[in-house]
């Protein structure tokens, strides 16, 4: 994998993780 593709994949993974975290915390409240 190229470094650029790795960075893009990591960014997408971080966004998904944040979205899941926000949804989880939203339900927990």
* Per-residue confidence (pLDDT) for residue 3, from 0 to 100: 92
CA dihedral 14, 17, 21, 27 (to 10 degrees): 140
Tens-digit pLDDT profile for the chain (29 aa)?
Answer: 789 988 888 888 888 888 888 888 887 76
| The pLDDT value given to residue 29 | 62
3-state secondary structure 1-29: CCHHHHHHHHHHHHHHHHHHHHHHHHHHC
First to last CA, the chain: 40
| Four-residue CA torsion sign, 13, 16, 22, 25 | negative
């Amino acid at each position: 994998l190229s470094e650029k593709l790795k960075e893009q994949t990591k960014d997408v993974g971080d966004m998904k993780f944040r979205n899941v975290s926000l949804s989880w915390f939203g339900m927990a409240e």
